[in-house]
Amino acid sequence: MTVWEQRDLPVLQALAASEDEDVRQGVLDLSNGQPLDLEMGSAEVYDAVLTLSDAGYIEGEIQPVGPHGALVTHFQVTGRGQQALGQWPLFDELASPATLALLLERLAEEASSLEEAGSLRRAATYVGGLTASTLRGAATAALAHVVRVHLGLG
């Protein structure tokens, strides 16, 4: 079993799914005990947090407390972290605006009303005229907003 499977992935999963109000507000105290209700000590979780931060899976301010602890504030699981968990779309799979436009056209064929079908076809026409970088930027911003609202952060 790798360090990723044994330590880092469980910490990332716990951070993303935590019901603890402090954690949901972006504060994690790693100064003692077993944080995140994981079967590992604070020092091990601290090492995982450092690794996850270096990998871009989480971001926040890490302030060392004592020899083996830390207080992590303003942290969040990033889009890259959500991708590692399979909870965030991989935008490279949207190869081009034409691919998304085709998907929207196919959805229009299955629409429940003429109004919905018309909206999907207009969206397909619009998306088909975008550049790939514009599409990815817009999709990233829109999905980030949806996630923030869903998590009560926005």
For the stretch 88-122, pLDDT in tens is 665 555 557 888 888 888 888 888 999 999 999 99
| pLDDT tens-place string over residues 37-83 | 899 988 899 899 999 999 999 999 999 887 767 899 998 998 889 88
Q: Which domains, and CATH codes, for the chain?
A: 3-84 (1.10.10), 91-150 (no CATH)
| pLDDT tens-place string over residues 2-46 | 999 999 999 999 999 998 899 988 999 988 777 888 999 888 998
**Structure tokens belonging to residue 62:** 């890490």
138, HSE (Cβ side, Cα atoms, 13 Å): 11
Q: Which residues have a Cβ under 8 Å from the Cβ of 36 and sit 6 or more positions away?
A: 11, 14, 15, 18, 20, 23, 28, 45
> Of all residues in the chain, what percent carry a pLDDT higher than 90?
36
Pairwise CA distance, residues 70 & 38, whole Å: 16
